[in-house]
A and B are shown apart, each in its own frame.
Chain A
Amino acid sequence: MRYPHVHRVTAVAVTIGVTALSLAACSSPAKPGPGSSSQLSGTLNASGSTFQLTFQQAAIQTFKSVQPSITVNYGGGGSGKGRTDLSSGTVGFAGSDSPIPSDEMSNFKGKTVLYFPVIIGPITVSYNLSGHTSLKMTPTVIADIFQGKITKWNDPAIAQINPGAKLPSTPITIARRSDSSGTTANFSLFLQDAVPSVWKLGSSSTINWPASSRGGDGNGGVAQIIKSTPGAIGYVDYADAKASGLTYASVQNAAGDYIAPSVAGATAAAQQATVASNLTFAAVWAHNSSTAYPITYQSWDLVFAKQSSKKTADLLKAYLGYLLGNGQQLLTSLSYAPLPANIDAKAKAQLSKITS
């Protein structure tokens, strides 16, 4: 149903890069890792979150050097599609940017679903304003910009937190997603958590943006609008913002510090999150850390605890174990953030709950 042309181009580039890396790795004598004592074979199918897509495609390539006979297919399609595919049994695991929502619980009745967090990433507030490369923003200002209350760049609310910046009277163009998205869901969740009294548009994968806003398909589509429109501002996944060479704002976190989006800032935010016993958490608007970037989101791989055969269970353990182990090292080079050690350890310990 989707046409992620932009993602695909990035993905292909990443795949090529990673293949080159893994070829280089192969030239040195292969050293079996501690977990790969037995060689498995088979196919694992998965779908869901497009936030995970680049990471999954890179990990699938490098996983080949650990388990050459396991084929993993990760289809993308969105978190909602992934959860539907998991509940109907067409995939072995599903990527999802949010825990199973209450109105979908009935699809999973009588079955235990395990959450494996695999990836963390910052969402940038990117803008196009020539001469201004380091603007600061508070959640209140961001909320008012995105609900159309602040319409010009020299608005006193922006000027007040950026003393010394000579702001022009350029009108603000809001760039946002035209497709439903986990990025939209988590960006709006940030505004709802940080400034509930200011933010009126709610939190969902699709938001009723002001009519004057402009919609782009995927993070790449939004980045394209920002790049080509002077005065534009939008929320873009960190990896895509960096790839498109966008300028992004430093955002004030709960501790009151202005933090620029970065891999370290995202991991710091996740570290502070309260992790539930089923390993769900929200890294967004984390408290008590002066280094945390506040607009940080995460994604899980969802798996049924009870698998139909031992073989499938072993395949899932091998691949998810890889994502949580060596796979995490891929993330930083892709501009995503690895899991903090405390969450990673809990996720690894949970692998033993996958049984047949």
Chain B
Amino acid sequence: MSTVTQDHQAAPPSALSQRRPLGDRSFQTLALAAGLLVLVILVLIAVSTSQQASSWFSHEGTKIFSKTWNPAAGQFGALSFIYGTAITALIAIVLSVPVSLGIALLLTEVVPRRWSRPIVSVIDLLAVVPSVVWGLWGILVFAPWIQHIYASIGSGVTGVPVLGPLFGAPTSGASFFTAGIILAFMITPIITSLSREVIATVPSIDREGAYALGATRLEMIRGVVMPHSQGGIVGAVLLGLGRAMGETIAVALVIGASATITPHLFAPGYNMPSVIANEFGEATGVFRAGLMGLGVLLFVFTIILNVVARWIVARSARRGRGA
């Protein structure tokens, strides 16, 4: 996030540009080329994947958003995967945000600085666990363990309005909810470290002011820290959401691989990245183009989400410094 919080107060270029030495200019060109290269690669990926997916778009037309994905019958609607992506990401966010914010506040407001460093290192360790390891742990250890809990919750709430359709029987260890929990583990370090950075920008003079007025720590957090860092935290959550939407292997292993739309959270489902990973190997023709098309849709969704998130974070960081 250093790029966002950096000052962009370079000297006015017009006065210097003519007299700059050769080394400086060639470095500028090189840096510009590197930046452009990333853009070019992105555009090429978007163009070539859309091209590969074109027969899906032409074959299905508006039915690309229908709910039936049945390769055996030649029906390739993406809705169940979009639904699964949204649901798992939502579960992950709901579970992760309170924990992440709690840790961020703990680190900035509660524990002394010499204690916060080791805690940060431990949280960051979560972020370096490879996603396939999360997936394998999820399917071999976590899912068999939690399916008993699902089963007892399921038998308890079956027939109860609202809760019944959401958590009732029959339940499965590999499900939307398991995928959501694994994703929550994976995005917690991201949301924690970003919100911690934002919260750390709250000027200490504001905090002192609140304490001077007789505020308790909770009142200070609610009255000073939160309003000041709101935008940044929203941005951090959106970045976590982007990660949760794009996660592939970990989800592919624990989600249960069933293209269904159901409110039932303990039922097996599917999301966009994991259907691509699972079904690409033996896919042909329109089936294959459909998987490519899912990739294009996912690409578009995550780009939009990331742009919005970065914009919100940058805006709040600017405002934070100005205050």
Contacts and interface: CB of A to CB of B under 8 A. Distances in A.
Interface string B61-92: 00000001111110000000000000000000
Interface centre among B69, B70, B72, B276 (most CB of A within 10 A): B72
B285 A204 contact: no
Given A178-B252, A214-B172, A215-B256, A202 B281 contact: no
B72 A207 contact: yes
Contacts of A211: 258, 260, 262, 267-268
Contacts of B219: none
Given A80-B280, A205-B282, A178 B71 contact: no
Contacts of A1: 276-277, 280-281
A204 B287 CA distance: 10
Contact of B285 (A81, A97, A103): A103
Given A104-B285, A204-B72, A208-B69, A215 B280 contact: no
A215 B286 CA distance: 23
Interface string A207-225: 1110111110100000000
A3 to B, nearest CB: 6
B263 interface: no
B238 interface: no
Contacts of A209: 258
B280 A178 contact: no
Given A2-B277, A179-B278, A215 B258 contact: yes
Contacts of B278: 178-180, 217
A77 interface: yes
A184 B288 CA distance: 17
Q: Taking chain A's interface residues, is the majority helix, strand, or loop, or is none over half, making it mixed? A: loop
A227 interface: no
Given A211-B268, A213-B258, A215-B256, A179 B279 contact: yes
A2 B259 CA distance: 19
Nearest to A105: B285
The range of chain B's interface size is 35 or more
A83 interface: yes
A181 B283 CA distance: 9
Interface string B272-298: 000011111111111110000000000
A104 to B, nearest CB: 5
A180 B282 contact: yes
B186 interface: no
B89 to A, nearest CB: 20
Nearest to B248: A1
Interface residues of A, number: 39
B281 A2 contact: yes
Given A80-B283, A178-B252, A179-B278, A202 B70 contact: yes
Contacts of B279: 179-180, 205-206
Interface string A105-149: 000000000000000000000000000000000000000000000
A209 B172 CA distance: 15
B107 interface: no
Contacts of A3: 132, 249
Nearest to B170: A212
B313 interface: no
B245 interface: no
Interface in B147-197: 170, 172, 174
A228 B144 CA distance: 10
B120 interface: no
Contacts of B276: 1
B176 to A, nearest CB: 12
B97 interface: no
A33 B72 CA distance: 46
B270 to A, nearest CB: 9
A19 B174 CA distance: 38
A215 B257 contact: yes
A81 B72 contact: no
Contacts of B72: 188, 201-204, 206-208
B281 A77 contact: yes
Interface of A: 1-3, 5, 50, 77-81, 83, 97, 101, 103-104, 178-182, 184-185, 188, 201-209, 211-215, 217, 228
Given A178-B257, A208-B259, 20 more contacts: A78-B282, A80-B284, A80-B288, A81-B281, A101-B285, A178-B278, A179-B279, A180-B280, A180-B282, A185-B282, A203-B72, A205-B71, A206-B72, A206-B279, A213-B258, A214-B174, A215-B257, A215-B268, A217-B252, A228-B144
20 contacts: A1-B281, A3-B132, A77-B281, A80-B284, A81-B280, A101-B285, A178-B278, A179-B257, A179-B279, A202-B72, A204-B71, A206-B72, A206-B287, A207-B71, A208-B69, A208-B259, A211-B262, A214-B172, A215-B257, A217-B253
